[in-house]
Amino acid sequence: MKGFVEWRFEAGGWLQVHENRQLAGRSSVTLVETDVEHRIKQLQKAGIQPKSAMLGDQVSVAIVSDPDGNQLVFAHGKGEKHRAVNGEVVASA
């Protein structure tokens, strides 16, 4: 339908985005990754430059924004408390 796009992820899950002009510039989505550095390379190959990236021993994060100011965050928690393993999120309290 008009103003609506959808992606299916190979490892499972979907992302659906629809246009809502009243909320433009006020949204953020975080996706848990298993390799943020690889994602950054994929984004750059597609002509998308992250507005910021932090690659650390415990957490790596890359942030991209659209022209309206909405942001998409790619995050990889590497510590035992929160980490992504083989496409699955493993969280412990």
Confidence of residue 43 (pLDDT cuts 50, 70, 90): very high
> pLDDT at residue 89 above 70?
no
More confidently predicted of 66 and 83: 66
Q: Are 11 and 23 in contact (CB under 8 A)?
A: no
Global pTM value: 0.68
Query: What angle is formed at CA 29 by the lines to CA 10 and CA 57, rounded to 5 degrees?
Result: 80
More confidently predicted of 91 and 52: 52
Residue 16 CA, chain-centre distance (Å), reads: 13
Dig out the tokens for 24 from the structure. Answer: 């433009």
What architecture does CATH give domain 27-91?
Answer: Roll (3.10)
Q: Domain limits of the chain? A: 27-91
Task: Tell me what the mean pLDDT of segment 39-58 comes to.
Answer: 94
